[in-house]
Structure 1
């Protein structure tokens, strides 16, 4: 750490200590936490991708189980779970006719193309694997391929949408048929073919009020999984009996955990403030940004293809 950075950190530490009027123990926790050298990683950026599970994995909160949170005291985990489980609101919209071309994402990944980076169905359909397994050169091929993809769904569409993924619409279907579905949609767009099907759209919206309620009760920080092997960090928690809850979201590529520290505890609050000074990303900032994005879609007027996420 350079002398200038050290001076800046000390000044911020002193200002924060004075503002919070911390007691001696809390002040000591704040100071030690601000000096921790942990490998903090930035939060995943929003990406233009056809895959539902790209970016910040908020979809894991949709059906969060009580056992997903860990921590030493049940009384600390229970309120954290209750607030996390209220972050996302769900609604369903039924359409009697929905243009196939409006869809520009998939909910599941076929293993053979699971590592492909694609921002559109056209890109996915052009991959070697999809080109080997899907060939559409006529309208008859198109209908046959689409029928294969939608088999068992009575030729209707199951769709998903999430506020943290913008206005992108995701097909909820068989992972084995991802290439077939992408190829059919790409063909319909290429030919300017309007193809209408009934659809059920499930939307997931981050609730701004629930985010604020969570933020009033907890610091919510992103910490590396490896921090639990760092002696200084663990010792700080144990020596001061600091209450906390931790949430590991499966499939998170950066292996970041959510650390929830109750603000009502002076020591826990001091730890949260100190970790932010040390560089821990504040998840509440990102959640507020997502929650502030207006939901412009109406139940009766889905957006046209050119406005629905850039596929």
Structure 2
């Protein structure tokens, strides 16, 4: 069989599947699928970027981030979801580091600290002591590095809350800023601010074409849920997503498919939340 024949048969199969009428109703899905659906909420402000709802992972999203059994379904969903978030860069001539709200770091042991003072006094950072201006300058130099220019992060809906982007030298930075704030010492440095931007128009397009539902990880081991995906061959794509400290699995179900649209409506009746609606509320914050 020629390559063109194979591709033709594949596309015909996909088209037939997407136009197939379901032999189940949304009420059936709502009755049979019993899951603890995560509820997306705007989290309380946190000094930790990891606990901040920033959606940075959706910017420059690789196509490989979506999973699913059919490549065409993943590619179609990717065309919509990849347009939602972008990163805009602003050059700041002089930024007073005392105005930092939080920081980006990779030390899970520090996530329990809810203030800069708590960070500086934590077991990981307690060995860094600043007693004199000389100590301060030395520790600050370690935190900032040789460039004397800093990178900052900010979300689209909290533009006044800036975060230190560098995941290194967390303890040195915390100790320096606590000392500078107490002694009223300005730390003015040039900066690059990377701000997350949400495209409301792209979200509305996503909502028009897809159910974008937040699912628990347990869904993919739930017999009732998987029965619809596998037995009925419901077209879908799957994307893990972090909303602050809440991690969930996103299922994207094309409304153009009667199978997927019915399944999506049933999941909504069962309690699943449309993430596109949640994202739209962020654009109005």
- State the alpha-carbon separation in 2 of the partners of residues 38 and 279 from structure 1: 8
Give per-residue Cα distances to partners, 1:219-250, cap 9 Å, x unaligned.
11011111111111111222322111001247
Query: Which stretch shows the higher mean deviation, 238-247 or 53-62?
Result: 53-62
Separation in 2, partners of 1:192, 1:141: 16
TM-score, normalised relative to structure 1: 0.78
The corresponding residue for 2:171 is 179
| Residue 96 of structure 2, aligned match among 99, 106, 109 | 99
Choose which of 124, 129, 136 in structure 1 pairs with 2:130.
136
Number of residue pairs the alignment of both structures matches: 265
2:121 maps to: 126
| 1:258-297 correspondence runs (5 A) | 258-293=250-285
Q: Equivalences for 1:1-311 in 2 at 5 Å?
A: 26=22, 28-35=24-31, 36-43=33-40, 45-56=42-53, 58-110=55-107, 113-118=109-114, 120-132=115-127, 134-152=128-146, 154-163=147-156, 167-175=160-168, 177-249=169-241, 255-293=247-285
How large is the Cα RMSD of the aligned pairs? 2.3
2: distance between equivalents of 1:55 and 1:203?
13
**Cα distance between partner residues in 2 of 1:94 and 1:53:** 24
Say whether the 8 Å CA contact 1:45–1:55 is kept in structure 2.
no
1:193 and 1:211 map into 2 onto residues whose CA distance is 44
Q: For residues 43 and 242 of structure 2, what CA distance do their matches in structure 1 show?
A: 18
Structure 1 unmatched runs, 5+: 1-23, 294-311
CA distance in 2, matches of 1:115, 1:98: 25
TM-fit CA distance, 1:193: 1.8
For structure 2, list consecutive stretches of 5 or more residues without a partner in the other structure: 1-19
- Per the TM alignment, residue 255 of structure 1 is displaced from its structure 2 partner at its CA by 4.7
SS at match of 2:170: helix
SS of corresponding position for 2:197: strand
